[in-house]
Amino acid sequence: MKVKEPSIVIRPLGRFGGLDNLHLMLIVLIALLIALLLVISYGKPILVLPSNNTTSTGNATAIHSASQIKAVAERVLASYATINSSLSLIPFISNVSGMQVSYLSGSGSWYVQVPARNFANNVAFSLSFVINDSDTSKVTPLLETVLPSSISNNSVVSAGVVSLFGRYECQSASPVNVYWFVDPYAAGGVSSLLNASEIDRIYGSNVNLTLKIIVGSDTERIGSQVGLFDALYLSKYALCASQQSNFSAFASGLNSAYSGAYLSQNDLASIAAQAGLNSTQLTSCINASSSAINTQALLAQYYNITYNPVAVVDCHYLALPQTARSALCYADNSLC
């Protein structure tokens, strides 16, 4: 019987969370910054006022407060997640706690500077915007080459953590729920399972982490070569292994064996046996997994997951595998 699996196109993150692409981007951005500084140095002087909540001096009075402008900037940063490029990582590498805002009285605008860090190579840099005081929807990025087509209602609330607008914390406060969305054939998908098993190990019963499989473009690409039914075995084994206590051993073995190419059912069965998984429980789960994967596809659509791997913490905080622990700390500071 041919099983119809859900198809949902999800943009994968690259290796190290896709951050390798930022090297070239940073070179371009530095050049843009130099050009900007030259323009400013030859332009008329701009009076920069302190970022108080009530900003005024002489005849210059800001309509918005510094805290209101910071809230706008947090939404602008979160909106980069919608861009189909490495810029989509900006929400997760920005440190909003270090954000600085200053009122530019000469132009009636606010200058916003946000520190960021590439956690693949630990390189620090800054993101800068000019936000119009009278119309805060007018945002000019000074270092980025493109602005999101629209500003979302999501907002960056902490380093590596995005609060999803209209999505609320889970009904049960404890343990904290973590939905781990992944297409295992996506770049970084298999290695993210190590992050997931590490969270399980560190937090134990305080966290309820569940793997949510996405049948994305990468699994479909493998499916075009070997057939979707066979391509789905990697997802099914990962899903069912995550429900057993030896998941960390399976994730480690899978990560060692995976080279970015198709893994057959025999390969996966061998990895599962070496990890000490219960074969009866595993087989039963795999045979019934299609229904669970269908449900998980609907959950991915509900959270508008556009790239993977990615985690949703406490039902309304979005994070990368590398920043999932930060989201856990933000959701429940007793965990940290």
pLDDT in tens, 130-186: 999 999 999 998 865 578 888 989 999 999 999 999 999 998 878 999 999 999 999
Task: Identify the residue whose tokens are 């993210």.
Answer: 192
Stretch among 40-49, 62-71, 146-155, 179-188 having the lowest mean pLDDT: 40-49
Residue 61 has pLDDT above 80, yes or no: yes
Residue 289 has pLDDT above 50, yes or no: yes
By the 8 A CB rule, do 290 and 5 touch?
A: yes
Tell me the mean pLDDT in the region 205-212. 96
Q: How sure is the predictor about 51, in pLDDT bands with cuts at 50, 70 and 90? A: very low
Based on DSSP, count helices (H) and strands (E) in the chain, helices before strands. 12, 15
In the three-class reduction of DSSP (H, G, I as helix; E, B as strand; rest coil), residue 101 is classed as strand
pLDDT of residue 52: 46
pLDDT in tens, 238-257: 999 999 999 999 999 999 99
Q: Show the beta-strand stretches assigned E in the chain.
A: 11-12, 48-49, 56-57, 60-61, 100-104, 109-118, 123-132, 139-141, 155-158, 161-163, 176-182, 207-213, 307-308, 310-313, 317-319
pLDDT of residue 172: 80
Tokens of 119: 């956690």
Q: How sure is the predictor about 65, in pLDDT bands with cuts at 50, 70 and 90? A: very high
Task: Identify the residue whose tokens are 């508008």.
Answer: 304
Q: Between residues 7 and 122, which one has the greater pLDDT?
A: 122
pLDDT of residue 12: 54
* 109: CB partners within 8 A, 6+ apart: 103, 130, 131, 132, 133
Tokens of 48: 């920069």
Stretch among 22-31, 42-51, 265-274 having the lowest mean pLDDT: 42-51
Q: Show the beta-strand stretches assigned E in 244-330.
A: 307-308, 310-313, 317-319
Q: How sure is the predictor about 19, in pLDDT bands with cuts at 50, 70 and 90? A: very low
- Whole-model pTM? 0.79
Tell me the mean pLDDT in the region 115-123. 83
Tell me the mean pLDDT in the region 230-234. 97
Other Cβ atoms closer than 10 A to 335 = 15
pLDDT of residue 49: 45
Share of the chain above pLDDT 70, in %: 81
**Burial (Cβ within 10 Å: 0-12, 13-18, ≥19) of residue 81:** buried
* pLDDT mean across residues, the chain: 84
Q: How sure is the predictor about 42, in pLDDT bands with cuts at 50, 70 and 90? A: very low
Tokens of 35: 């050009």
